Structure 1
Amino acid sequence: MKKAHRAWLMPLIIAALFISMFALMFGPMMNMKPHDLPVAAVMNDQGVDTPKGHQVAGEKVLDTMDEKFSESGALKMEKVEDGEFNANDYFAVITIPEDFTKQMSSHHATVDFKVNQGKNPMAAMQLQQMVTKIDMGDSGVVLKPDTYNSIDPKLGFAANMIPTVLIMMTMVPSIVGGNLASSSTRRWLQPLLAALVAIFVGLAASAMITWVTPLTDWNAHLALYLAVGSFCMGMLTIGAINLLGRSGLILPVACVILGMSTGMLPREFLPGFWSDFVWLWNPVHNLANGVRNILFLHQTWSGEAIGLLTIGGVGVILWALSALRRTPASMSKDDGTPSEDAAATPVAAQ
């Protein structure tokens, strides 16, 4: 009877686990809502001299837009000086042109609203839709939408999927490789094995992307970044297993399952639990954002690597702590010398 119960109960348990896993991985996307997306505002309006004094209409327009953004909560405007800010740090840049006040004299003026497409293509699509819905009333101001860090149209929807695919191609083999490397009784060999796996993963994943997508040029910077991410995840896996046993696999696996949405969406799109808690420690978004920085923002490296190195450092600490907990028997296996118990065994007993 017990075997019969197991026969139908196990498939239900497995199905429930898979449903829960996919809910954790992709559920936040179903509840995404942009909030406080950083937008830079550049005031270049030179104004005009009138009998009433020097008038600058652009300032009033920016203030009006800032109020609208605050009401919706979706965008957060930050006024910056032209040439003194990094446009890659923002999801969009609003620019008031130099002749804006002159344009207003004809009751019609345009404001440039450029969306940073390369920062996160999925977020850029949402933001472009939001721009068309911003109502400036009867002020005569027209928002002129455009993009910067534009992505090759040949990529299409693949631009959204490439970072996600690379997460799986980097994290999963690194966890598997770390699991295998942790079985080595020579502790010093485990980081070396993790490094070899990382090099293979970096080269293979970057080559695969150039093979199956319109990104025909192999990117050495991407390969190096993926290798660093792979090594850090591999060391986390090794350290967790060495210290906690096979149950330690829960730690790197949880990083992938909980972090998948953080890699696909910016923090400002995620629900509270993921933006306030998961984002703080999960390295998946560091890997995905670094990939976008290299592929779409044309950087040779990414500051997101700090997050990867931090999680790799945690793995190294766990690996070192596990070495301190070794028993005399495990130490004898490492250095090739017999343990005290083995030395005390009578020869006649053999």
Structure 2
Amino acid sequence: MNLFKQKQAILAPLLVLVVAIIFSLTLASSVNPTPKNLPIAIVNGDQGIQVPSKGNVNIGDMMVSKINKLSKTNNGEKPAIKWIQVSSEEKVRKGLDDQKYYGALILPSDLSKNQASLKTANPSPIAIKILVNQGKNTTGSTMASQMLTHIVENLNLTTHTQIFNELKKNVSSISVKQAEVLSNPIVANIENVNAIGTHTANGNAPVTLITPLWMSSLIGAVIVFLAKKKTQTSNSISKLKVIFEQLILGVILSFIIGFGITLMAKWIGFTLPNFLDVALYLTIAYFCFHILISAVMSWVGFGGVGIFALIFFFSGSLIGMPKELLPAFSKDWIYSWVPMRFGADGLREIFYFDKGLSMSHPMSIILWIGIISLLALSLSAFKPKKEVVNQAVTMK
């Protein structure tokens, strides 16, 4: 028998090419990841000063204008930073806790006053505060910190050059104290907000824990599905009974995996904010993922496994990245809806934002996934068997 006459052999090149293309698409997020519209807050608290010949002068306004100019691009692309002006530091900190910003730049109330003092014999440096929202995303917050530091360095150099040029025109010498302050007229005070702490995989603990949970829910759902197929069900009532037993088994698996992964994480050395909160969250997430996969397989059969395997491969490299670094395809068509991402986001709020086991946005999404999946799984009890469908088609 000639191998090349077999249908599988003829289709092999096409199938292999399709698989290669699908898995190559998972690399899209790693090709030149550059930030676009990274949300960073800016507060201009400068009160300004009265200058006899100019009236009220607000150096803070000038700096904000300078910062916006530095951040603009000339090629029409989206800027790296999306500046969001906020009225006070208190509101900024609330926004950081709500994960609205990766960082913030706080211009002090005495900015203009200290700027003017740089030209006197008793100068005061300008202290600008940089807030870095570490817990939101390690990669994103690190980028925000680097960009904010770079901006302050540019402002520092500009101020240094400007003041020195003015002094050279008006004075022949400066004091040691002036020279010391003018060498670094703007001081950046960096503060990590919602810090990731130590032993959290550099802030990637949520992704690290949700990955085995997802794979466990997939494998668990497959095993239960295969066991379910061996049960003898003659009507919808008996099918519902089996589904109820399936749910009980799912609950048991959820507690085993949820608490098991948490125990392993503690044993490995992860710093857990609260053991019970993490374990219960993982238990709930596992159950909802388990029911989701079970519901899909109850309608489309064993082929549903491929769907969730693809979800894992496509989203595994995405959920740990800030969405502002992702290409449009990955952000809009994968990151925006994958269940694993919501699972990791919920853990992030427990780990770094002191939310505990609460009805957060990620938690509500996960619960809705579970509720809708439970409904779909229950309705599958009323799906006619294939034999019945085939007989009806034959009779026609």
Measured against the shorter chain, the TM-score band is: 0.7 to 0.9
CA, structure 1 residues 81+303, in 2 after alignment: closer, same or farther (shift >3 Å)? same
Instruction: Give the Cα–Cα distance (whole angstroms) in 2 for the partners of residues 24 and 210 of structure 1.
Output: 35
Shift of 1:36: 0.9
Q: Which residue of 2 aligns with 1:315?
A: 373
**1:289 aligned onto 2:345:** yes
Aligned 8 A contact 1:113 1:143 in 2? no
Match of residue 82 from structure 2: 76
- Measured against aligned partners, the alpha-carbon deviations of 1:106-136 in whole angstroms (never above 9, x if no partner) come to 3553322221111111222233333343333
Letter in 1 for 2:362: E
> Where in structure 2 are the equivalents of 1:331-342 lying within 5 Å?
none
CA distance in 1 between counterparts of 2:30 and 2:366 reads 23
User: Pick from 118, 124, 129: which aligns with 2:135?
Assistant: 118
> How do 1:105-254 residues align onto structure 2 when only pairs under 5 Å count?
105-107=116-118, 109-134=126-151, 135-136=154-155, 138-140=158-160, 142=186, 144=188, 145-152=190-197, 154-155=198-199, 158-182=201-225, 183-184=227-228, 185=231, 186-215=242-271, 218-254=274-310
Which is worse superposed, 245-254 or 320-329? 320-329
Q: Give the partner amino acid of 2:217.
A: S
Q: Deviating runs (4+, > 3 A) in structure 1?
A: 11-27, 139-143, 326-330
Q: CA deviation at 1:270?
A: 0.9
Q: Deviations over 1:76-106 (max 9, x none)?
A: 1111132234222210011111211112113
Q: Distance in 2 between matches of 1:98 and 1:282?
A: 44
Is contact 1:207-1:218 (8 Å) kept?
Answer: no
Q: Provide the TM-score with structure 1 as the length reference.
A: 0.81
Structure 1: state its 5+ residue gaps: 331-350
CA separation of 1:14/1:225 partners in 2, compared to 1, >3 Å: closer, same or farther?
farther
The alpha-carbon deviation at position 73 of structure 1 amounts to: 0.9
Aligned residue in 1 for 2:35: 34
Do 2:138 and 2:204's aligned partners in 1 also have CA atoms closer than 8 Å? no
Which letter maps to 2:47?
Answer: Q
- SS of structure 1 residue aligned to 2:318: helix
For 2:25 and 2:68, the matched residues in 1 are separated by 35
Match of 1:305 in 2: 363
Specify the code of the residue in structure 1 equivalent to 2:199: L
User: Tell me, what secondary structure is at the counterpart of 2:40?
Assistant: strand
Cα offset, 1:43, TM superposition = 2.5
Give the partner amino acid of 1:59: D
- Which is greater in Rg? 2
- Count of matched residue positions in the alignment of Structure 1 and Structure 2: 328
Match of 2:237 in 1: none
Fraction of identical pairs, as percent:
23
Counterpart of 1:178 in structure 2: which amino acid? A
- Three-state SS of the structure 2 residue aligned to 1:112 is strand
Q: Which amino acid in 2 is paired with 1:124?
A: S
Q: 1:216: Cα distance to partner?
A: 6.0
SS of residue in 1 equivalent to 2:361: coil
Query: Could you say if the C-alpha distance between residues 281 and 42 of structure 1 is closer, same or farther in structure 2, counting changes exceeding 3 Å?
Result: same
Structure 1 residues 291 and 22, CA, compared in 2 at 3 Å: closer, same or farther?
farther
Structure 1 residue 207, shift from structure 2 partner? 1.7
TM-score (norm 2): 0.72
Contact 1:24 1:257 in 2 (8 A): no
String of CA shifts for 1:316-350, please: whole Å, max 9, x gaps: 243133222144999xxxxxxxxxxxxxxxxxxxx
**Aligned AA for 1:308?**
I
Bigger Cα displacement from structure 2, 97-106 vs 254-263: 254-263
Instruction: Give the drift of 1:42.
Output: 2.0
Unaligned runs of 5+ in 2: 119-124, 161-184, 232-241, 389-396
CA root-mean-square deviation? 3.3
Provide the residue aligned with 2:175 in structure 1.
none
DSSP 3-state at the match of 1:95: strand
